[in-house]
Protein backbone atom coordinates (compact mmCIF):
# COMPACT_ATOMS: atom_id res chain seq x y z
CA UNK A 1 0.00 0.00 0.00
CA UNK A 2 1.41 3.40 -1.01
CA UNK A 3 0.43 4.95 2.31
CA UNK A 4 2.38 2.55 4.51
CA UNK A 5 5.89 3.96 4.99
CA UNK A 6 8.56 4.01 7.68
CA UNK A 7 6.99 7.23 8.97
CA UNK A 8 3.42 5.95 9.17
CA UNK A 9 4.70 2.84 10.97
CA UNK A 10 6.83 4.71 13.50
CA UNK A 11 4.21 7.39 14.19
CA UNK A 12 1.14 5.17 13.99
CA UNK A 13 -0.49 7.14 11.18
CA UNK A 14 -3.16 6.00 8.73
CA UNK A 15 -1.92 8.46 6.12
CA UNK A 16 1.56 9.91 5.44
CA UNK A 17 0.38 13.50 5.82
CA UNK A 18 1.82 16.18 8.12
CA UNK A 19 0.03 19.51 8.49
CA UNK A 20 2.72 22.20 8.74
CA UNK A 21 2.99 23.82 12.18
CA UNK A 22 2.47 27.35 10.77
CA UNK A 23 3.16 29.38 13.90
CA UNK A 24 0.92 31.01 15.13
CA UNK A 25 -1.78 30.20 12.56
CA UNK A 26 -2.07 26.46 13.31
CA UNK A 27 -4.13 25.86 16.45
CA UNK A 28 -4.50 22.80 18.68
CA UNK A 29 -7.89 22.13 17.05
CA UNK A 30 -6.42 22.27 13.53
CA UNK A 31 -3.61 19.90 14.52
CA UNK A 32 -6.06 17.57 16.30
CA UNK A 33 -8.35 17.51 13.25
CA UNK A 34 -5.46 16.34 11.07
CA UNK A 35 -4.29 13.76 13.59
CA UNK A 36 -7.80 12.43 14.22
CA UNK A 37 -8.17 11.93 10.48
CA UNK A 38 -5.06 9.73 10.53
CA UNK A 39 -2.33 12.23 9.61
CA UNK A 40 -0.16 14.15 12.06
CA UNK A 41 -0.95 17.70 13.11
CA UNK A 42 1.75 20.32 13.62
CA UNK A 43 1.78 22.92 16.38
CA UNK A 44 4.28 25.78 16.67
CA UNK A 45 6.02 26.49 19.97
CA UNK A 46 8.02 29.56 18.91
CA UNK A 47 6.94 32.92 20.35
CA UNK A 48 5.01 31.22 23.15
CA UNK A 49 6.16 30.97 26.78
CA UNK A 50 6.91 27.46 28.08
CA UNK A 51 3.60 27.57 30.01
CA UNK A 52 1.72 28.52 26.84
CA UNK A 53 3.50 25.70 24.96
CA UNK A 54 2.41 23.26 27.64
CA UNK A 55 -1.19 24.51 27.34
CA UNK A 56 -1.11 24.24 23.55
CA UNK A 57 0.12 20.65 23.73
CA UNK A 58 -2.44 19.83 26.47
CA UNK A 59 -5.15 21.39 24.26
CA UNK A 60 -4.14 19.06 21.45
CA UNK A 61 -4.04 16.01 23.77
CA UNK A 62 -7.57 16.77 24.98
CA UNK A 63 -8.84 16.73 21.42
CA UNK A 64 -6.77 13.86 20.03
CA UNK A 65 -5.16 10.71 21.33
CA UNK A 66 -2.96 10.47 18.25
CA UNK A 67 0.47 11.75 17.22
CA UNK A 68 1.61 15.38 17.48
CA UNK A 69 4.43 17.35 15.85
CA UNK A 70 5.71 20.23 18.00
CA UNK A 71 7.80 22.72 16.02
CA UNK A 72 10.50 25.27 16.72
CA UNK A 73 12.15 27.97 14.65
CA UNK A 74 15.87 28.51 15.35
CA UNK A 75 17.68 31.73 14.60
CA UNK A 76 20.66 33.71 15.88
CA UNK A 77 20.69 37.27 17.29
CA UNK A 78 20.97 40.13 14.82
CA UNK A 79 23.78 41.99 16.59
CA UNK A 80 23.58 45.71 17.26
CA UNK A 81 21.34 47.57 14.77
CA UNK A 82 21.77 51.05 16.24
CA UNK A 83 22.00 53.71 13.56
CA UNK A 84 21.28 51.20 10.78
CA UNK A 85 18.23 50.67 8.56
CA UNK A 86 17.05 54.19 9.32
CA UNK A 87 15.07 54.47 6.07
CA UNK A 88 13.19 51.21 6.73
CA UNK A 89 12.49 52.20 10.33
CA UNK A 90 11.18 55.59 9.34
CA UNK A 91 8.93 54.16 6.59
CA UNK A 92 7.48 51.61 9.01
CA UNK A 93 7.05 54.35 11.64
CA UNK A 94 4.87 56.20 9.07
CA UNK A 95 2.53 53.19 8.94
CA UNK A 96 2.29 53.16 12.74
CA UNK A 97 1.26 56.84 12.64
CA UNK A 98 -1.23 56.32 9.79
CA UNK A 99 -2.80 53.38 11.58
CA UNK A 100 -2.97 55.14 14.95
CA UNK A 101 -0.61 52.60 16.52
CA UNK A 102 1.56 55.22 18.22
CA UNK A 103 5.34 55.12 18.04
CA UNK A 104 7.01 52.14 16.41
CA UNK A 105 8.85 50.04 19.02
CA UNK A 106 12.56 49.27 19.03
CA UNK A 107 13.12 46.23 16.79
CA UNK A 108 13.73 42.85 18.44
CA UNK A 109 17.30 41.63 18.01
CA UNK A 110 17.20 38.43 20.08
CA UNK A 111 18.01 34.91 18.90
CA UNK A 112 15.83 31.89 19.71
CA UNK A 113 16.79 28.82 21.67
CA UNK A 114 15.41 25.65 23.17
CA UNK A 115 15.76 27.00 26.71
CA UNK A 116 15.77 24.63 29.70
CA UNK A 117 12.14 25.42 30.61
CA UNK A 118 10.93 24.68 27.09
CA UNK A 119 13.03 21.52 26.94
CA UNK A 120 11.42 20.43 30.21
CA UNK A 121 7.96 20.92 28.68
CA UNK A 122 8.94 18.90 25.60
CA UNK A 123 10.45 16.15 27.73
CA UNK A 124 7.34 15.97 29.94
CA UNK A 125 4.76 16.11 27.15
CA UNK A 126 6.69 13.87 24.71
CA UNK A 127 5.41 15.06 21.32
CA UNK A 128 5.81 12.13 18.93
CA UNK A 129 7.72 14.49 16.61
CA UNK A 130 9.78 17.55 17.47
CA UNK A 131 10.59 19.43 14.28
CA UNK A 132 12.92 22.32 13.56
CA UNK A 133 13.07 25.03 10.92
CA UNK A 134 16.45 26.69 10.23
CA UNK A 135 18.75 23.93 11.39
CA UNK A 136 18.96 21.80 14.52
CA UNK A 137 19.73 22.73 18.13
CA UNK A 138 22.83 21.53 20.02
CA UNK A 139 23.51 17.80 20.09
CA UNK A 140 22.69 17.44 23.79
CA UNK A 141 19.15 18.72 23.07
CA UNK A 142 18.73 16.56 19.97
CA UNK A 143 19.92 13.49 21.87
CA UNK A 144 17.78 14.24 24.95
CA UNK A 145 14.62 14.54 22.82
CA UNK A 146 15.47 11.42 20.82
CA UNK A 147 16.23 9.48 23.98
CA UNK A 148 12.85 10.58 25.32
CA UNK A 149 11.09 8.98 22.35
CA UNK A 150 10.46 12.03 20.15
CA UNK A 151 11.34 11.73 16.50
CA UNK A 152 13.53 14.60 15.27
CA UNK A 153 12.56 16.17 11.95
CA UNK A 154 14.31 19.10 10.25
CA UNK A 155 13.95 21.07 7.04
CA UNK A 156 16.36 21.17 4.08
CA UNK A 157 16.24 23.21 0.88
CA UNK A 158 19.28 21.60 -0.78
CA UNK A 159 20.98 18.20 -0.88
CA UNK A 160 23.91 19.61 1.14
CA UNK A 161 21.55 20.80 3.89
CA UNK A 162 19.79 17.42 3.93
CA UNK A 163 23.13 15.59 4.30
CA UNK A 164 24.13 17.93 7.11
CA UNK A 165 20.86 17.34 8.99
CA UNK A 166 21.14 13.58 8.60
CA UNK A 167 24.70 13.69 9.99
CA UNK A 168 23.45 15.74 12.95
CA UNK A 169 20.92 13.06 13.85
CA UNK A 170 17.65 14.03 12.14
CA UNK A 171 15.36 10.98 12.00
CA UNK A 172 13.55 12.32 8.95
CA UNK A 173 14.13 15.30 6.68
CA UNK A 174 11.70 17.68 5.04
CA UNK A 175 12.66 18.46 1.44
CA UNK A 176 11.25 21.95 1.07
CA UNK A 177 10.77 22.94 -2.56
CA UNK A 178 10.80 26.55 -3.66
CA UNK A 179 7.01 26.42 -4.06
CA UNK A 180 6.54 26.39 -0.28
CA UNK A 181 4.54 29.04 1.52
CA UNK A 182 6.05 30.85 4.49
CA UNK A 183 9.72 31.02 5.34
CA UNK A 184 12.35 29.34 3.25
CA UNK A 185 13.90 26.69 5.47
CA UNK A 186 17.48 27.30 4.37
CA UNK A 187 19.92 27.49 7.26
CA UNK A 188 23.02 27.90 5.09
CA UNK A 189 21.79 31.08 3.39
CA UNK A 190 21.29 29.55 -0.03
CA UNK A 191 20.06 32.28 -2.37
CA UNK A 192 16.36 31.72 -3.06
CA UNK A 193 16.90 32.09 -6.81
CA UNK A 194 19.18 29.03 -6.67
CA UNK A 195 16.81 26.82 -4.65
CA UNK A 196 15.05 24.05 -6.54
CA UNK A 197 11.39 23.29 -6.95
CA UNK A 198 10.11 20.13 -5.30
CA UNK A 199 9.97 18.09 -8.52
CA UNK A 200 13.75 18.44 -8.95
CA UNK A 201 14.75 18.59 -5.29
CA UNK A 202 12.84 15.67 -3.82
CA UNK A 203 14.35 12.77 -5.81
CA UNK A 204 17.84 14.22 -5.32
CA UNK A 205 17.42 14.35 -1.54
CA UNK A 206 15.84 10.88 -1.55
CA UNK A 207 18.92 9.59 -3.38
CA UNK A 208 21.33 11.35 -1.01
CA UNK A 209 19.88 10.33 2.37
CA UNK A 210 18.88 7.11 4.03
CA UNK A 211 16.38 8.54 6.52
CA UNK A 212 12.76 9.03 5.35
CA UNK A 213 12.13 12.20 3.33
CA UNK A 214 9.01 14.32 3.71
CA UNK A 215 7.93 16.42 0.72
CA UNK A 216 6.95 20.07 1.27
CA UNK A 217 6.15 22.91 -1.07
CA UNK A 218 3.10 23.22 -3.27
CA UNK A 219 1.62 19.88 -2.19
CA UNK A 220 -1.98 21.00 -2.29
CA UNK A 221 -4.33 18.24 -3.45
CA UNK A 222 -4.61 14.48 -3.92
CA UNK A 223 -2.78 14.57 -7.23
CA UNK A 224 0.27 16.34 -5.78
CA UNK A 225 0.33 14.00 -2.77
CA UNK A 226 0.39 11.08 -5.21
CA UNK A 227 3.19 12.70 -7.23
CA UNK A 228 5.32 13.31 -4.13
CA UNK A 229 4.97 9.67 -3.06
CA UNK A 230 5.96 8.50 -6.56
CA UNK A 231 9.03 10.76 -6.39
CA UNK A 232 10.20 8.92 -3.26
CA UNK A 233 8.68 10.83 -0.35
CA UNK A 234 7.58 8.79 2.67
CA UNK A 235 5.15 11.55 3.68
CA UNK A 236 4.01 14.98 2.59
CA UNK A 237 4.03 18.16 4.69
CA UNK A 238 1.29 20.59 3.73
CA UNK A 239 0.95 24.16 4.93
CA UNK A 240 -1.03 26.45 2.65
CA UNK A 241 -3.68 23.75 2.08
CA UNK A 242 -4.60 23.84 5.79
CA UNK A 243 -4.36 27.62 6.13
CA UNK A 244 -7.90 28.00 4.82
CA UNK A 245 -9.41 25.59 7.35
CA UNK A 246 -11.77 27.34 9.76
CA UNK A 247 -9.65 26.00 12.67
CA UNK A 248 -6.64 28.06 11.47
CA UNK A 249 -6.18 31.47 13.11
CA UNK A 250 -5.95 33.47 9.90
CA UNK A 251 -7.06 37.12 9.62
CA UNK A 252 -9.86 37.90 7.13
CA UNK A 253 -7.60 39.88 4.77
CA UNK A 254 -5.26 36.88 4.54
CA UNK A 255 -8.16 34.47 3.92
CA UNK A 256 -9.50 36.70 1.16
CA UNK A 257 -6.08 36.89 -0.50
CA UNK A 258 -5.78 33.09 -0.37
CA UNK A 259 -9.25 32.64 -1.84
CA UNK A 260 -8.44 34.83 -4.83
CA UNK A 261 -4.85 33.65 -5.43
CA UNK A 262 -3.86 32.29 -8.83
CA UNK A 263 -0.91 30.25 -10.06
CA UNK A 264 1.42 33.25 -10.35
CA UNK A 265 0.38 35.26 -7.31
CA UNK A 266 3.17 34.74 -4.79
CA UNK A 267 6.62 36.26 -4.33
CA UNK A 268 9.64 35.46 -2.15
CA UNK A 269 10.63 38.49 -0.13
CA UNK A 270 12.56 39.46 3.00
CA UNK A 271 10.32 42.46 3.61
CA UNK A 272 7.81 40.83 5.96
CA UNK A 273 10.27 39.33 8.42
CA UNK A 274 13.90 39.83 7.40
CA UNK A 275 14.26 36.23 6.16
CA UNK A 276 13.09 35.09 2.72
CA UNK A 277 9.44 34.04 2.85
CA UNK A 278 6.85 33.26 0.19
CA UNK A 279 3.83 35.53 0.51
CA UNK A 280 1.02 37.10 -1.46
CA UNK A 281 2.11 40.67 -2.20
CA UNK A 282 0.22 43.55 -0.60
CA UNK A 283 0.61 47.26 0.10
CA UNK A 284 3.44 46.52 2.54
CA UNK A 285 5.58 44.47 0.14
CA UNK A 286 4.89 46.85 -2.73
CA UNK A 287 5.65 50.08 -0.88
CA UNK A 288 8.71 48.87 1.03
CA UNK A 289 10.37 47.29 -2.01
CA UNK A 290 12.42 50.39 -2.86
CA UNK A 291 13.59 51.29 0.65
CA UNK A 292 17.28 52.17 0.81
CA UNK A 293 19.28 49.63 2.80
CA UNK A 294 16.52 47.01 2.49
CA UNK A 295 14.84 45.10 5.31
CA UNK A 296 16.36 44.57 8.74
CA UNK A 297 17.54 41.05 9.59
CA UNK A 298 15.17 38.55 11.23
CA UNK A 299 13.56 39.00 13.76
CA UNK A 300 13.98 42.80 13.74
CA UNK A 301 11.92 43.37 10.59
CA UNK A 302 9.20 40.95 11.75
CA UNK A 303 8.94 42.58 15.17
CA UNK A 304 8.11 45.93 13.54
CA UNK A 305 5.85 44.54 10.82
CA UNK A 306 3.84 42.11 12.98
CA UNK A 307 1.74 44.72 14.86
CA UNK A 308 0.68 46.20 11.50
CA UNK A 309 -1.29 43.01 10.80
CA UNK A 310 -4.02 44.37 13.08
CA UNK A 311 -4.20 47.65 11.16
CA UNK A 312 -7.68 48.93 10.53
CA UNK A 313 -7.11 49.47 6.83
CA UNK A 314 -5.54 46.07 6.24
CA UNK A 315 -3.08 45.19 3.50
CA UNK A 316 -0.10 45.53 5.83
CA UNK A 317 -0.11 41.95 7.14
CA UNK A 318 2.12 39.00 6.36
CA UNK A 319 0.16 37.04 3.77
CA UNK A 320 2.17 33.80 3.78
CA UNK A 321 1.12 31.45 0.98
CA UNK A 322 2.62 28.80 -1.28
CA UNK A 323 2.44 28.50 -5.04
CA UNK A 324 -0.35 25.93 -4.75
CA UNK A 325 -2.72 28.38 -3.03
CA UNK A 326 -5.21 28.33 -5.92
CA UNK A 327 -5.70 24.57 -5.45
CA UNK A 328 -6.69 24.86 -1.79
CA UNK A 329 -10.20 24.67 -0.36
CA UNK A 330 -11.93 26.07 2.66
CA UNK A 331 -12.76 22.90 4.60
CA UNK A 332 -12.48 21.78 8.23
CA UNK A 333 -9.24 19.84 8.74
CA UNK A 334 -10.90 16.43 9.08
CA UNK A 335 -13.00 16.91 5.94
CA UNK A 336 -10.01 18.17 4.01
CA UNK A 337 -7.99 15.14 5.13
CA UNK A 338 -10.79 12.81 4.00
CA UNK A 339 -10.87 14.47 0.59
CA UNK A 340 -7.08 14.58 0.15
CA UNK A 341 -6.59 10.94 1.09
CA UNK A 342 -9.49 9.74 -1.05
CA UNK A 343 -8.16 11.69 -4.06
CA UNK A 344 -4.53 10.61 -3.58
CA UNK A 345 -5.63 7.01 -3.16
CA UNK A 346 -7.76 7.14 -6.31
CA UNK A 347 -4.90 8.61 -8.38
CA UNK A 348 -2.35 6.08 -7.19
CA UNK A 349 -4.71 3.13 -7.61
CA UNK A 350 -5.57 4.26 -11.14
CA UNK A 351 -1.88 4.55 -11.96
CA UNK A 352 -1.04 1.14 -10.56
CA UNK A 353 -4.05 -0.62 -12.15
C1 LIG B 1 1.42 30.50 7.11
C2 LIG B 1 2.64 29.65 7.19
C3 LIG B 1 3.35 29.60 8.38
C4 LIG B 1 4.46 28.76 8.50
N5 LIG B 1 5.08 28.64 9.71
C6 LIG B 1 6.02 27.68 9.88
C7 LIG B 1 6.52 27.39 11.16
O8 LIG B 1 6.15 28.00 12.17
N9 LIG B 1 7.46 26.41 11.27
C10 LIG B 1 7.87 25.69 10.18
O11 LIG B 1 8.69 24.79 10.35
N12 LIG B 1 7.43 25.97 8.95
C13 LIG B 1 6.49 26.92 8.78
N14 LIG B 1 5.99 27.16 7.52
C15 LIG B 1 6.55 26.46 6.35
C16 LIG B 1 5.91 25.08 6.25
O17 LIG B 1 6.45 24.26 7.25
C18 LIG B 1 6.10 24.40 4.90
O19 LIG B 1 7.44 24.39 4.50
C20 LIG B 1 5.24 24.98 3.79
O21 LIG B 1 3.99 25.37 4.26
C22 LIG B 1 5.07 23.97 2.68
O23 LIG B 1 4.59 24.56 1.52
P24 LIG B 1 3.04 24.79 1.19
O25 LIG B 1 2.63 25.96 2.01
O26 LIG B 1 3.05 25.06 -0.26
O27 LIG B 1 2.29 23.54 1.58
C28 LIG B 1 4.89 28.01 7.38
C29 LIG B 1 4.17 28.08 6.19
C30 LIG B 1 3.06 28.89 6.07
C31 LIG B 1 2.29 28.91 4.78
Q: How many CB atoms lie within 10 A of CB 193?
A: 8
pLDDT tens per residue across span 264-273: 999 999 999 9
**Pocket of ligand 1 contains residue 318 by CB under 6 Å:** no
Prediction pTM value:
0.98
Q: List the Cα angle 335/337/340 in 5-degree steps.
A: 110
Task: Give residue 229's pLDDT.
Answer: 98
Residue 70 lies in a domain: yes
DSSP letters spanning 61-108 = HHH-SS-EEEEEE--------TT-SHHHHHHHHHHHHHTT--SPPPPP
Domain containing 127: what range?
6-76+111-259+325-352
Residue 337 forms part of a structural domain: yes
Q: Facing residues of 155 across strands?
A: 174
DSSP at 25: T
Q: What share of the chain is helix, strand, coil (3-state, %, to 5)?
A: 40, 15, 45
pLDDT at 15: 98
**pLDDT of the residue at 312:** 67
Mutate to test the pocket of ligand 1, among 17, 19, 22, 299 (most ligand atoms within 8 A of CB): 22
Q: How many domains does the chain have?
A: 1
User: Residue 229 domain-assigned?
Assistant: yes
Q: What is the pLDDT of residues 322-331, one digit of tens each?
A: 999 999 999 9
Mutate to test the pocket of ligand 1, among 183, 225, 236, 323 (most ligand atoms within 8 A of CB): 183
Do β-strands 213-216 and 172-176 pair in parallel, antiparallel, or remain unpaired? parallel
Q: Whose CA is nearest to atom 11 of ligand 1?
A: 133
Q: What is the pLDDT of residues 50-81, one digit of tens each?
A: 999 999 999 999 999 999 999 999 999 999 99
Question: Which parts of the chain sit beneath pLDDT 50?
Answer: none
**pLDDT for res 311:** 78
Residue 84 domain-assigned? no
Inter-residue contact 276 to 185 (CB < 8 Å):
no
Q: Identify whether 280 is part of a domain.
A: no
Q: What digits encode the pLDDT tens for the residues 233-266?
A: 999 999 999 999 999 999 999 999 999 999 999 9
293 located within any domain:
no
Nearest atom (ligand 1) to Cα of 321? 31
| Domain annotation covers residue 131 | yes
Q: Is residue 119 part of a domain?
A: yes
Please answer whether residues 305 and 284 qualify as being in contact, where contact means their C-beta atoms are separated by less than 8 angstroms. Answer: yes
Question: CATH number for the domain including 341?
Answer: 3.20.20.70
Amino acid sequence: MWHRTRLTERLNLDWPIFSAPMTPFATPSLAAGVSNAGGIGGLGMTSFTPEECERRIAGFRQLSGRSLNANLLLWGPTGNLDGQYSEMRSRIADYYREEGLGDAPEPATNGSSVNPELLEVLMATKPEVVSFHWGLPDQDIVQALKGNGSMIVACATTVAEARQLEALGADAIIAQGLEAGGHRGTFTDVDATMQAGLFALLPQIVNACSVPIIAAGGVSNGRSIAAAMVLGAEAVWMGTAFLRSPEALVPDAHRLALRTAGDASTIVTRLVSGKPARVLPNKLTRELADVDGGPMPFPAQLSLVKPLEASEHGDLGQLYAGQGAALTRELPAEDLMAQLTEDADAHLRAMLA
